Chain A
Amino acid sequence: DAGVIQSPRHEVTEMGQEVTLRCKPISGHNSLFWYRQTMMRGLELLIYFNNNVPIDDSGMPEDRFSAKMPNASFSTLKIQPSEPRDSAVYFCASRPRQIQETQYFGPGTRLLVL
């Protein structure tokens, strides 16, 4: 299995631009999670989906952030407009259908907003 796939791996953009991060979960996994990692706040959950349905988005920092999961094999996290304080590493993780609580993380997208 290829594991969780994220793209792009690195993104540099200017303040005000739209940023779209992509994630392909492990095939057969029914839950998907988006996390953000910063020096100040550590690893924090932004949003998660079960069976493509958003369950808890209480970690999404503000309305500039949105996430979608149109099907079981693809999810996006969008930031519009981006700000320098959004600079962070964004991780996607998926969880197996059979094992409800083990999460497997993708390699992350390192975002820098200038």
Chain B
Amino acid sequence: DTGVSQDPRHKITKRGQNVTFRCDPISEHNRLYWYRQTLGQGPEFLTYFQNEAQLEKSRLLSDRFSAERPKGSFSTLEIQRTEQGDSAMYLCASSPGTDRHYNSPLHFGNGTRLTVT
């Protein structure tokens, strides 16, 4: 168990540019989540996958955001035409995803910190 891995750890970009983050979940975890965390706030849910299927998206996920998990393993989160308000820590988490969802605690990666200048 190598844990949830996120890449890059830090990303600085100029407003209007596109960025893509990668998340590698714990192997055999079939649920994968993306959260966003801004300073002084708790993580806010963005979206989650059950295997390759994206089952839920938050209203926070505007049209500029897209997430994929093509083979049910790693996932990418892309932000197009970044805005300064997108500056945040983007956290990925995975869980075994048993039928009893609540019994599967989320395992978090160390996050990708995005700064939009």
Q: Do A and B associate with each other?
A: no
Mark A residues whose CB is within 8 Å of B: none
Mark B residues whose CB is within 8 Å of A: none
